[in-house]
Amino acid sequence: MAAVLAVGTDSCDPPRPVIPRLHLITDDRVLARPDFPVRAAAALEAGRDRVTLHLRGPRHSGRDLWEVGTQLLAEVRKRSGTLLVNDRIDVAMALGADGVHLGMHSFLPVQARAMLVRDALIGLSAHAGDSGTKPNWHAEGPPEGVDFLIVGTLFSTESHPGRIGVGIEGLRTMIASARGVPVLGIGGVTPARVSDILAAGAHGVAVIRSVWDAEDSGAAVAELLGEYGWDAKASGAIAMSTGEQAAGEGGGEILLRVNGAERRAPEGLTVQGLLEQLELIPATVVVEHNLEILDRASYARVVLHDGDRLELVHFVGGG
Amino acid sequence: MTRPTEESGHAVSAIETGGDSPLRIAGKEFASRLIVGTGKYRDDETMVRAIRASGAEMVTVAVRRVSLDRSREESILHQVSPEEFFILPNTAGCYTAEEAVRYARLGRAAGLNDWVKLEVIGDESTLLPDVQATIEAARVLVNEGFKVLAYTNDDLITALRLEDAGCVAVMPLASPIGSGLGLINPYYIREIKSRLEVTVIVDAGVGTASDACATMEQGVDGVLMNTAIAAAEDPVAMAHAMRLGVEAGRLAWRAGRMPRREVAVPSSPARGMLD
């Protein structure tokens, strides 16, 4: 029985794959290239479990996407990476991919969640609104069921020349209204811009051209990952080290994981303080702090530290 | 036609039908043998009205993350007051013993009681229980002082193991959760009830009032349901029907049914017929 007691899972919700910090996205043009399979293999080899490949080809048929996807998934699985399918939930299901990435005209995230397996990863694209910095989901925050957001366009790009980039400031605004859902930046991302994007609080970046149009896609991935400040071979506790780095730059900030979402907080914050920030009434909530359930009387005493994991739960309707 | 009244002697009087002992679990007594869930209702008001119509005193709740944007659901306890109902936290949605233990502890930390409806699911499409993990989790939780009401399959051996583990109630299913298929295996349910000393409550699978009635006719101590009421077209009316079904089934079991025969036996005397 000791084994049962000792084992702590990250969360009692089904374990979700960690959201990699570098997302490689395809398009119709990239998929059509004869050297795409070779490039994809090279990019995956360089990124392994730190990259997510997005199979995206809006003008490809479902059957064609499935055929390309079958090969890609085999390559992804060999290297413990993840494969998401853009928009096409049916293709993701047929492939047994890790999840889907949805656009503004896709099914809603909750609908996708209902169709996919429990632990499917679900991303959503959120473009800057007309004002340039206002995200299209600004009123209520990201919709329910979303694991991460890809926001942009950060910097004007060749693929969307008419679109004005929201820049680092726009990214900050969007992260602030993402309510803790991890945000990745897209649009004109180059290795030189990665550190600024991460410093703004982004979870990572998503790229199309800077990998697929590079002379060597594998080298391009390695270069982008190099900008994250990781040892190229290191794996594992990546999330935490990047979090510490970003918080350090902010000054006096710590990075918490609250109910599965990253959340920045000032140093020295107590559990009581966190509940106040979240406008939760302590008497209605149970707090689990790094897998240990806290006594309500201790909320004011327990100081939170960088990397702490908190689960705030309550009773809901159930059978 | 006039309705039968107690005065006219047509209705069974309270004295004749009374005398049933209350539902006893871990030393606590409940007048109602129906336990209901609080999930899947279309709105809170319907839920509260339905629960009241069911006459249930014990209701189940689930433990979930608080939504941090504050715009969504609040605690169910705002609707279903612990003053009015006995709250039974569940471990629904857990797929391992570790998860279930964790959820049970979180539920207890809410400070209402140390009871838990233990549920460890083994399969996503049928939601059938992982009986091995359920027994494992039950032992841990009993050790920690929990009053464990364990959801399980209609399997006698598992039921006996759960009783051995110290569960205060064993809760075999009538049929899969949310299926509404009714009592699939009355023989096994009867067998479990006859072999266990602890309380036996049939949990899950009841679809309508006749299922509740048929289940209680097996002699079990109670029935737990959620979807059959919540997903009915009129949940409040169905809750009332379930209450009557449970009461009718209990009474019928206590009354002792006539033996089944494979041939007809006339109800009227054979004697005194005309030539």
Q: CB contact, 8 Å: A15 with chain B?
A: no
pLDDT at A304: 94
Instruction: For residues A223 and B236, give the distance between their C-alpha atoms in angstroms, rounded to a whole number.
Output: 63
Reported as half-sphere exposure (CB side, CA atoms, 13 A), residue B70 has a value of: 8
Q: Both tokens of residue A216?
A: 């060597």
Judge whether B118 and B129 are in contact, CB under 8 Å: no
Flag if B109 and A286 touch (Cβ within 8 Å): yes
Type and span of the H or E element at A312 = strand A309-317
Q: Which residues of B are catalytic?
A: 117
Which of B65, B121, B123, B206 is the best residue to mutate to test the A interface, defined by the most A CB atoms within 10 Å of its own CB? B65
Chain B residues inside the 8 Å CB shell of A312: 65-66, 68
Owner of token pair 């429990």: A118
- pLDDT tens per residue, range B166-200: 999 999 999 999 899 999 999 999 999 999 999 99
Q: Is the pLDDT assigned to residue A314 strictly greater than 50?
A: yes
Q: Both tokens of residue B124?
A: 């996503």
Judge whether A43 and A211 are in contact, CB under 8 Å: yes
- pLDDT tens per residue, range A196-246: 899 888 999 999 999 999 999 999 999 998 877 643 333 333 333 333 344
**Chain centroid to CA B32:** 10
Instruction: For residues A245 and A263, give the distance between their C-alpha atoms in angstroms, rounded to a whole number.
Output: 14
Chain B residues inside the 8 Å CB shell of A259: 65-66, 68
**First CA to last CA across chain A, in angstroms?**
27
Chain A residues inside the 8 Å CB shell of B72: 144
SS (H, E, C) chain B: CCCCCCCCCCCCCHHHHCCCCCEEECCEEECCCEEEECCCCCCHHHHHHHHHHHCCCEEEEEEEECCCCCCCCCCHHHCCCCCCCEEEEECCCCCCHHHHHHHHHHHHHCCCCCEEEECCECCCCCCCECHHHHHHHHHHHHHCCCEEEEEECCCHHHHHHHHHHCCCEEEECCCCCCCCCCCCCHHHHHHHHHHCCCEEEEECCCCCHHHHHHHHCCCCCEEEECHHHHCCCCHHHHHHHHHHHHHHHHHHHHHCCCCCCCCCCCCCCCCCCCC
Report the C-alpha dihedral over residues B8, B11, B15, B18, rounded to 10 degrees: -170
- pLDDT tens per residue, range A82-132: 999 999 999 999 999 999 999 888 999 989 999 998 789 999 998 765 444
Chain A residues inside the 8 Å CB shell of B143: 1
Q: Is the pLDDT assigned to residue B49 strictly greater than 90?
A: yes
Q: Which of B197, B205, B133 is nearest to B169 (CA)?
A: B197
Judge whether A293 and B106 are in contact, CB under 8 Å: yes
Q: Is the pLDDT assigned to residue A6 strictly greater than 70?
A: no
Surface of B (28-47) touching A: CB under 8 A: 37-41, 47
Chain A residues inside the 8 Å CB shell of B129: none
Chain B residues inside the 8 Å CB shell of A179: 68-69
Q: CB contact, 8 Å: B136 with chain A?
A: yes
Among B62, B68, B136, select the one facing A317 at the smallest CB separation.
B62
For chain A, give me the number of helices (H) and strands (E)?
A: 12, 13
Q: Which residues touch B25 (CB under 8 Å, ≥6 apart)?
A: B147, B149, B168, B169, B199
pLDDT at A159: 62
Helix (H, G, I), strand (E, B) or coil at A93: helix
Strand partners, A316: B62
Task: Supply the DSSP symbol for A182.
Answer: -
Flag if B66 and A5 touch (Cβ within 8 Å): no
**Helix B97-109 vs helix B131-143: angle between axes, to the nearest 10 degrees?**
40
Chain B residues inside the 8 Å CB shell of A258: 68
Lowest mean pLDDT across A15-29, A67-81, A200-214, B126-140: A15-29
Instruction: For residues B106 and B102, give the distance between their C-alpha atoms in angstroms, rounded to a whole number.
Output: 6
Flag if B66 and A296 touch (Cβ within 8 Å): no
- pLDDT tens per residue, range A26-58: 999 999 999 999 999 999 999 988 899 999 999
Q: Both tokens of residue B154?
A: 């209609």
State the smallest CA–CA distance between residue A154 and chain B in angstroms: 26
Q: CB contact, 8 Å: A14 with chain B?
A: yes
Among B66, B77, B139, select the one facing A313 at the smallest CB separation.
B66
CA distances from A27 to A32, A159, A206, B201 (A): 9, 11, 13, 57
SS (H, E, C) B116-156: EEECCECCCCCCCECHHHHHHHHHHHHHCCCEEEEEECCCH
Q: State whether ipTM is beyond 0.90.
A: no
Q: Which of B105, B74, B92, B230 is nearest to A316 (CA)?
A: B74
Chain B residues inside the 8 Å CB shell of A119: none
Q: CB contact, 8 Å: B77 with chain A?
A: yes
Which of B48, B67, B106 is the best residue to mutate to test the A interface, defined by the most A CB atoms within 10 Å of its own CB? B106
Instruction: For residues A212 and A27, give the distance between their C-alpha atoms in angstroms, rounded to a whole number.
Output: 10
Q: Both tokens of residue B137?
A: 């989790």
State the smallest CA–CA distance between residue B85 and chain A in angstroms: 14
Among A9, A312, A317, select the one facing B47 at the smallest CB separation.
A317
Flag if A316 and B106 touch (Cβ within 8 Å): no
Q: Is the pLDDT assigned to residue B127 strictly greater than 80?
A: yes
Instruction: For residues A182 and A177, give the distance between their C-alpha atoms in angstroms, rounded to a whole number.
Output: 11
Instruction: For residues A250 and A253, give the distance between their C-alpha atoms in angstroms, rounded to a whole number.
Output: 6
Per-residue pLDDT band for A163 (boundaries 50, 70, 90) equals low
pLDDT at B268: 92
Instruction: For residues B20 and B254, give the distance between their C-alpha atoms in angstroms, rounded to a whole number.
Output: 8
Mean pLDDT of A133-155: 76
Flag if A4 and B136 touch (Cβ within 8 Å): yes
Helix (H, G, I), strand (E, B) or coil at A311: strand
Q: CB contact, 8 Å: B90 with chain A?
A: yes
Q: CB contact, 8 Å: A261 with chain B?
A: yes
Flag if B66 and A12 touch (Cβ within 8 Å): no
Average pLDDT, chain A: 82
Q: What sign for the dihedral angle of Cα A297, A303, A304, A308? A: negative
- pLDDT tens per residue, range B60-80: 999 999 988 755 567 898 889
Task: Give backbone dihedrals phi and psi of B264, rounded to 5 degrees, phi first.
Answer: -75, 150
> Per residue in A142-181, is it b (16+ CB within 10 Å) or e — as a string?
bbebbbbbbbbbbbbbeeeeebebbbbebbbbbbebbbbb
Q: CB contact, 8 Å: B97 with chain A?
A: yes
Among A118, A293, A319, select the one facing B226 at the smallest CB separation.
A319
Type and span of the H or E element at A69 = helix A62-78
Instruction: For residues A20 and A11, give the distance between their C-alpha atoms in angstroms, rounded to a whole number.
Output: 18
Judge whether B88 and B60 are in contact, CB under 8 Å: yes
